[in-house]
């Protein structure tokens, strides 16, 4: 999945930020490789937006070291700004601007020539399905459309590093899908992306690596598989029946099965004993299904979801 | 260089805003109405050109100050500046572009009002004496100087105020008072009052803008 290179494009070392006595970030350290999508998740107030604002130089009084593309933040801010594209959580434009006008201004301010801006605008609008509203005032657009214009301004100058803070908020399912496709396409073209979202399945769909932050501290960083391996295997097999039947009760007699339950009609959960050979038990289960002439839609060995991993780390730190 | 780009951009936004519409059209209309009120209530004819300039001085400065402060506070609170600040430009250019565009719009609106005054005076059968033109020059110097200070005060108030309400109060009690500084040379009967008026306005506006730029540069978003 990953098109990431070996070079660390973004480096944060022991970044801390205090608002008075409140510790928003506590020695946050992580790296993002060139061409990688780094998913950043955490509950409200965990420090995600603060991290992102520090990265894009909207907050400059912090402790620690940050470099982007080899340039120090905030010391070499002009060079850093040339690499950046940023979509804030609540993107807002001046009310009198049209979509075309906003993109022209932001493209020119990012250093593009007038000709390049004029070339790029139709491409970006086409990519995001905004061509029809090109000359409309942004204030007349829906929330989802404004979010897309927000992404358009972040992409207009083809930045090397893209920071997306909750980019899918307010988008309908189709737009969310298109949005994720675009993010993956950008990654494949070599962009490095920091992507934060409350919707964990969205992060799971696009991220090469995931960082979990809570109360200003990084709890864990890794690929989805690495994070999954942190949790104890659940030893649960899910059997989906084609029709409601009581024959599943017989699964209890299979060696290695601890218990069986039906949480909802047609959905059977088979709990395995610890240390058993899962493949052997699933084989026996398949044979039992054949013998009992039960028709099934699927058999799955359940693995922890990102939601469960996330809750595990967040609840762990709440308890601590 | 981002300043020319931002300046043209802001100009485009301001010149057709509702407040500017009032300045473009409403100010000359009010000035004309004021003339007739003046005639019927006092029975004394004074140069309409001078009346226009006086009205412009008091109204335009206040409106410019309010317009800038409210615009900056709103854009700041709605996080509009974030999309600008992550780009390779100087923060001060954002403020200068706003200042220059509003100043230019208001100065032009003032000139239109004064021209309406001259034309009205002429149309009402009056002759424009050299004394009127002398006082007009001084009035314009004071007017433009007051607008310059009012705009700078508006920018500073916009940067430091957390809300529109606080901004409006500060404009009324602070911005308005400080914008009368250019009147001092005339009131004190200093020689070359016009020059001192302009100089004093330039210094005051520069100091106010410098404080605004310092605050904006250190602002965390």
pLDDT digits (tens, 9 = 90+) for A160-169: 999 999 998 7
User: What does the pLDDT read at residue B41?
Assistant: 47
Q: Does A137 reach chain B within 8 Å, measured CB to CB?
A: no
Q: Do B220 and A58 touch (CB under 8 A)?
A: yes
**Three-state DSSP string of chain A:** CCCCCCCEEEEEEEEEEEECCEEEEEEEEEEEECCCEEEEECCCCCCHHHHHHHHCCCCCCCEEEEEECCEEECCCHHHHHHHEEEECCCCCCCCCCEHHHHHHHHHHHCCCCHHHHHHHHHHHHHHHCCHHHCCCEHHHCCHHHHHHHHHHHHHCCCCCEEEEECCCCCCCHHHHHHHHHHHHHHHHCCCEEEEECCCHHHHHHHCCEEEEEECCEEEEEECHHHHHHHCCCCCEEEEEECCCCCHHHHHHHCCCEEEEEEEECCEEEEEECCCCCHHHHHHHHHHHHHHCCCCEEEEEECCCCHHHHHHHHHHHHHHC
User: What does the pLDDT read at residue A148?
Assistant: 92
What is the bridge-based pairing of β-strands A63-68 and A71-73? antiparallel
User: What does the pLDDT read at residue A231?
Assistant: 73
Asked if residues A272 and A256 have their Cβ atoms less than 8 Å apart, the reply is yes
A68-122 pLDDT per residue, tens: 999 999 999 999 999 999 999 889 999 889 999 999 999 999 999 999 999 999 9
Mean pLDDT of chain A: 90
User: What does the pLDDT read at residue B212?
Assistant: 97
| CB < 8 Å to B13, chain A | 94, 96-97
pLDDT lower than 50: segments of chain B: 41, 43
| CB < 8 Å to B6, chain A | 109
What residue numbers bound the domain in which B58 lies? 3-217
A118-143 pLDDT per residue, tens: 999 999 999 888 999 999 999 999 98
Q: Which of A257, A258, A317 is nearest to A285 (CA)?
A: A257
User: What does the pLDDT read at residue B112?
Assistant: 83
User: What does the pLDDT read at residue B192?
Assistant: 81
Q: Which of A239, A234, A235 is nearest to A265 (CA)?
A: A239
Count of residues in chain B: 221
Shortest distance between the Cα of A181 and any Cα of chain B, in A, equals 24
The shortest CB-CB distance from B89 to any of A58, A86, A109 is to: A109
**Which chain B residue has the Cα nearest residue A56?**
B86
**Structural domains present in chain A:** 8-229 (3.40.50.300), 236-303 (3.30.70)
CA dihedral of residues A157, A152, A75, B93 (deg, nearest 10): 90
User: What does the pLDDT read at residue B28?
Assistant: 79
**Structural domain total, chain B:** 1
pLDDT at A317 over 80: no
**Element of type H or E holding B22:** none
User: What does the pLDDT read at residue A48?
Assistant: 94
| CB < 8 Å to B220, chain A | 58-61
Q: Does A153 reach chain B within 8 Å, measured CB to CB?
A: yes
Q: Does A92 reach chain B within 8 Å, measured CB to CB?
A: yes
Q: Do B75 and A97 touch (CB under 8 A)?
A: no
pLDDT at A4 over 90: no
Chains A, B: CB pairs < 8 Å: 61
A186-234 pLDDT per residue, tens: 999 999 999 998 788 888 889 999 999 999 999 999 998 888 877 766 6
Q: Does A320 reach chain B within 8 Å, measured CB to CB?
A: no
| CB < 8 Å to B83, chain A | 86, 88, 91, 93, 106, 153
User: What does the pLDDT read at residue A151?
Assistant: 93
């Amino acid at each position: 999945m990953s098109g990431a290179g070996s070079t660390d494009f973004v480096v944060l070392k022991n970044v801390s930020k205090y608002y008075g006595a409140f510790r928003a970030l506590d020695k946050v350290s992580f790296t993002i490789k060139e061409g990688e999508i780094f998913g950043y998740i955490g509950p409200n107030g965990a420090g995600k937006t603060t991290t992102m604002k520090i990265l894009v130089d909207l907050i400059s009084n912090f402790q620690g070291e940050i470099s982007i593309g080899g340039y120090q933040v905030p010391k070499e801010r002009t060079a850093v700004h040339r690499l950046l594209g940023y979509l804030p959580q609540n993107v807002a434009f001046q009310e009198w601007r049209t979509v075309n006008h906003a993109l022209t201004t932001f493209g020119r301010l990012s250093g593009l020539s007038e000709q390049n801006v004029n070339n790029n605008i139709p491409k970006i609008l086409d990519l995001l399905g905004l061509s029809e509203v090109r000359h409309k005032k942004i204030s007349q657009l829906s929330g989802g459309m404004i979010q897309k214009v927000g992404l358009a301004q972040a992409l207009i100058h083809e930045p090397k590093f893209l920071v997306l803070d909750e980019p899918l908020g307010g988008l309908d399912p189709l737009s969310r899908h298109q949005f994720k496709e675009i993010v993956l396409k950008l990654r494949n073209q070599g962009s490095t992306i920091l992507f934060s979202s409350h919707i964990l399945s969205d992060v799971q769909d696009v991220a090469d690596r995931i960082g979990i932050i809570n109360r200003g501290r990084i709890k864990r960083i890794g690929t989805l598989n690495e994070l999954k391996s942190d949790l104890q295997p659940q030893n649960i097999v899910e059997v989906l029946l084609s029709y409601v039947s009581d024959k599943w009760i017989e699964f209890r007699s299979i060696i290695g099965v601890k218990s069986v339950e039906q949480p909802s009609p047609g959905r059977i959960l088979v709990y395995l004993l610890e240390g058993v050979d899962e493949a052997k038990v699933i084989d026996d289960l398949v044979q039992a299904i054949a013998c009992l002439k039960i028709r099934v839609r699927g058999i799955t060995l359940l693995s922890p979801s990102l939601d469960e991993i996330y809750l595990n780390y967040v609840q762990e730190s709440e308890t601590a | 260089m981002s300043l020319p780009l931002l300046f043209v951009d802001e100009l485009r936004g301001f010149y057709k805003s509702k407040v500017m519409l009032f300045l473009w059209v409403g100010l000359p209309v009010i000035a004309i109405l004021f003339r007739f009120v003046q005639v019927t209530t006092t029975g004394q004819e004074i140069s309409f050109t001078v009346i226009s300039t006086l009205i412009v001085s008091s109204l335009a400065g206040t409106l410019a100050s309010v317009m800038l402060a409210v615009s900056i506070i709103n854009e700041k609170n709605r996080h509009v500046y974030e999309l600008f600040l992550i780009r390779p430009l100087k923060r001060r250019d954002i403020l200068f572009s706003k200042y220059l565009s509003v100043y230019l719009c208001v100065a032009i609106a003032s000139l239109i009002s004064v021209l309406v005054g001259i034309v009205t005076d002429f149309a009402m059968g009056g002759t424009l004496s050299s004394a009127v033109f002398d006082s007009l020059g001084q009035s314009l110097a004071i007017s433009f100087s007051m607008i310059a200070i009012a705009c700078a005060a508006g920018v500073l108030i916009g940067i430091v105020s957390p809300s529109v309400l606080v901004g409006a109060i500060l404009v009324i009690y602070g911005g308005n008072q400080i914008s009368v500084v250019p009147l001092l040379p005339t009131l004190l009967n200093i020689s070359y009052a016009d020059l001192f008026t302009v100089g004093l306005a330039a210094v005051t506006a520069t100091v106010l803008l410098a404080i605004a730029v310092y605050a904006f540069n250190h602002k965390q978003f």
